Amino acid sequence: MSTPPSGQAPGRDAGCGILHVDMDAFYALVEIRSRPELRGHPVVVGGGPERGVVLSASYEARAHGVRSAMPSARAHRLCPQAVFLPPDFAAYSEVSRAVMEVFRSVTPLVQPLSLDEAFLDVSGALRRLGATPLEIAASIREQVAASQQITCSVGIASTMFVAKLASRVAKPDGVHLVPADGVRAFLDPLPVGALWGVGARTEEVLARHGIATVGDVAAAGLATLRRAVGEAHAVHLFALARGVDERRVDPHGREKSAGAEETFARDLVDRAVLRRELLRLADRTGRMLRRRAVRARTVALKVRFDDFTTITRSRTLPAPTDLARELYATAGELLDALGPIAPVRLLGVRAEGLVPADRAPEQIVLGEAEHGWSDAERAADQARSRFGVAAVRPASLLGDPDPTRARSPVEAADPARAGGPDRHREHPRVSRAASPREPNG
């Protein structure tokens, strides 16, 4: 095991068995790894300069104000000299799997939040490894750097909430320990927006009550918080502000949803073209579900119009499904129910209410062949895994030159990300019960 990082006093990590490990500018560093000539230059992964969003930016690009989830056009204005690259999700998935194996070599208690971050509970591994949490963090960072040529930052604390905040402080390429007896000293000065569940609107409400920092939340007391944000939210925020987080690292935690979205190079108005795009998105979403061995109870449609107005519609299915055919049919019905619509800038299909496939009841359709759509889609999956994603696709998409698409994805929830020729279309955002996902670090 390695020695603790400089500046971290040995012994101060007693009782701090939770690590939050976050890759630094993950997609950008993976791209730079395969293009050494870009090292030291601003690199942006995501859409080109016209439309789309930034998925990841190197720290050289961030120095110019470029951030994840920023419109690509704005990123280009801020840093016109940046190199814009389309994402390669097959490569990111491969690196992610290798990194997660490093984590699991330390402890089986690993809870991934996305491709590039995870919680680890090393409490039980300390005696087996004969190491402290600081030494384990140093070893993980060394192994990731040596095997994958990328860096990561680690937060160490006694709870998941504080460890995640600590990893943010550690960035880039560092370690930050919050001792068990120093939690309040760490939390109190932070802005109230650092608390999970505090968005812009809640922040405004709390500000009207004179609450601007986490310390203010703790000092305000439950009575004041109840008046400001209601009973349930008050209890939640009051506990976090005092460093109380009862959650445990769950290696079996499952994503709550999965889906794909697309921002188009030009706004779409033709209903047939929109239907074809829905089919493409449903096909990708179905592959995600089958790859993760889950099925969805609910299908949601997201539409963003040319004026940036965004609507969502959803429908619960008679039985959970992982079939693109059923996802597409439901999403199509939701689209049709909207009636005449304005030009569409973005379209999305999301599968929600996920349940393990082996526990989900299958709906039996009278007259359906014994080997029906389920077998067909799984056979297509096998062909794609062997010959690439473009090897098999719905007939209506064959020969499609795809002229409508900006080469920039926006929020798709898929921790495993398919590769192949259409890999640029899936954006890795995972919705999990553990915490809201921070922008790619």
Contact between 163 and 189 (Cβ < 8 Å): no
The CA distance from 329 to 323, in Å, is 10
Q: Out of 60, 117, 135, 261, pick the active-site residue.
A: 117
Contact between 175 and 134 (Cβ < 8 Å): yes
Q: Other CB atoms closer than 10 Å to residue 319's CB: what's the count?
A: 12
Two structure tokens written together for 222: 């439950």
Residue 255: which H helix or E strand, with range?
Answer: strand 255-268
Nearest one of 146, 140, 94 to 155, comparing CA atoms: 140
The CA distance from 200 to 335, in Å, is 30
What is the DSSP annotation of 211-229? Answer: --BHHHHHHHHHHHHHHHH
- Measure Cα distances from 305 to 73, 266, 302 in Å: 18, 11, 10
Task: Extract the annotated binding site for Mg(2+).
Answer: 22, 116
Three-state secondary structure of 292-323: CCEEEEEEEEEEEECCCCEEEEEEEEEEEECC
Task: Extract the annotated binding site.
Answer: 22, 116
CA 295 to chain centre: 19
Two structure tokens written together for 325: 């055919």
3-state DSSP call for residue 43? strand
**Residue 409: CB partners within 8 Å, gap ≥ 6?**
46, 47, 52, 53, 55, 87, 260, 261, 262, 263, 424, 425, 426, 427
Q: Which amino acid is at 120?
A: L
Q: Other CB atoms closer than 10 Å to residue 209's CB: what's the count?
A: 15
Nearest one of 309, 355, 159, 150 to 249, comparing CA atoms: 159
The CA distance from 247 to 94, in Å, is 29
117 is catalytic: yes
The CA distance from 53 to 37, in Å, is 24
Detail the DSSP E strand segments found in 77-141. Answer: 83-85, 110-114, 117-121
b/e 352-369 (16+ beta carbons within 10 angstroms → b): bbbeebeebeeeeeeeee
CA 354 to chain centre: 16
Which residues are the active-site residues?
117
